[in-house]
Amino acid sequence: MRGLLVLSALLGVVLGKEDFVGHQVLRIFAADEPEVQKVTELEDLEHLQLDFWRGPAQPGSPIDVRVPFPSIQAVKVFLEAHGIKYTIMIEDLQSLLDEEQEQMFAFQARAASTDTFNYATYHNLDEIYGFMDMLVAENPQLVSKLHIGNTYEGRPIYVLKFSTGGNNRPAIWIDTGIHSREWVTQASGIWFAKKITQDYGQDPAFTAILNNMDIFLEIVTNPDGFAFTHSTNRLWRKTRSISAGSACVGVDPNRNWDAGFGMAGASKNPCSETYHGKFANSESEVKSIVDFVKNHGNIKAFISIHSYSQLLLYPYGYKSEPTADQAELDQLAKSTVTALASLYGTKFKYGSIITTIYRASGGTIDWTYNQGIKYSYTFELRDTGRYGFLLPASQIIPTAQETWLGLQTIMEHTLKHLY
């Protein structure tokens, strides 16, 4: 195993993968508003090259930040000087990345069918697209693959359509992986796709959903970013578009929608992880979905899946006023997290984006809600920070299983309350 580790380190150097040796993830506890402001000051110090996994929000909410090795001392001194408490969540990030790579290497095998496909490991883009083709070939009466656009770098953007017939029926949309480093989401999306084909005709409640509605599932919503997480930088979040006049690459695709675009809750700095882009829908990955949703015109639930934090969120993120459907969305969120917790006891908090985490503008579900899609939700899957974006592959299937119970709750409610 030691030899494998050395090999993976050597391969990393040869293949030009970004190295995270000595990087730590700190959890910061800002007790009051002045302390939150102090941490926000840290965020603005570009030379430290901090990567906020959970950004500064309201007092009492944990803040998680990846600190590069050269900046560790400076950040700790800053926090201690201002009496701000912190703990080390991840001691050495590279050791977790090495474990992840070893696991993927050990289970690397081309599956001959979706029955022998390994759902308990992480897969690259080619493997996921191969899985989609197999699933379509095995279930031609139920599953088709739609090509809804191309990425900035020219990769195809695919959506799986699950349908038992009919024309432009009411539909449910699910997307995973809009932030490319959130690997458990794409892995869960693969599992959901297989689960749909297994449960149709077997599970009466789910069969009723698919007999009356279509499901659209976009497993890799940010293909360029996802490919980059495999080739170069495992922790890449954004798209890979080039910004004129900046050396920094990419836009946050969850700040690029036309809902409070460019307001507080996103950054105008192209080097920021929350850079909103030059204009709304500037990213083809976002524009492809916008065009699809508008052309379809009959999507009734829209669910965008992220990690991590164990949250179920509904609009709004860009403003504090509640939606017209606040009471129903909140009640359904409560039922959904209850169903999700019933399997493994995984606890989710729920509420509107702005009250539960922080102000965020230009977000997916604010736009879909404003388009008239009442049941617009965002999940933040496991965990609460022990591994963050580097959730061990052993947790993929349990995460997908419990999330599916939540998704089914939303889908059943949507079917019973069509509007």
User: Over the stretch 229-264, which tens digit does the pLDDT of each residue have?
Assistant: 999 999 999 999 998 899 999 999 999 999 999 999
Quote the crossing angle between the two packed helices 125-138 and 223-231, to the nearest 10°: 130
In this prediction, residue 56 carries a pLDDT of 87
Residue-wise pLDDT for 193-223, tens only, equals: 999 999 999 999 999 999 999 999 999 999 9
Is the pLDDT at 15 greater than 80? The verdict is no
pLDDT computed for residue 1 by the predictor: 46
**Is the pLDDT assigned to residue 2 strictly greater than 50?**
no
Q: Give the active site residues.
A: 380
pLDDT at 7 over 70: no
What average pLDDT does the chain have?
95
Q: What is the pLDDT of residues 123-147, one digit of tens each?
A: 999 999 999 999 999 999 999 999 9
Which range has the worst mean pLDDT, 97-111, 257-271, 316-330, 347-361? 97-111
Which structure tokens are listed for 78?
């800053």
- The pLDDT of residue 43: 86
Summarize the confidence of residues 392-404 as an average pLDDT: 98
pLDDT score for 44: 84
- Return the percentage of the chain with pLDDT > 90, whole number: 91
Note whether 107 and 99 are within 8 A (CB).
no
Q: What is the dihedral of CA 340, 343, 348, 352, to 10 degrees?
A: 10
pLDDT at 57: 85
Is the pLDDT at 372 greater than 60? The verdict is yes
Answer for the pair 255, 274: CB distance below 8 angstroms, yes or no. yes
Query: What is the pLDDT confidence band of residue 160, given thresholds at 50, 70 and 90?
Result: very high
First to last CA, the chain: 57
Are 39 and 56 within 8 A, CB to CB? yes
The span from the CA of 48 to the CA of 20, in Å, is 14
Given the DSSP bridges, would you call strands 311-314 and 349-352 parallel, antiparallel or unpaired? parallel
pLDDT at 60 over 60: yes
Q: 115, 213, 91: which is closest to 164 by C-alpha?
A: 213
| Burial call 250-284: b when 16+ CB within 10 Å, e when fewer | bbbbbbbbbbbbbbebbbeebebbbbbbeebbbbb
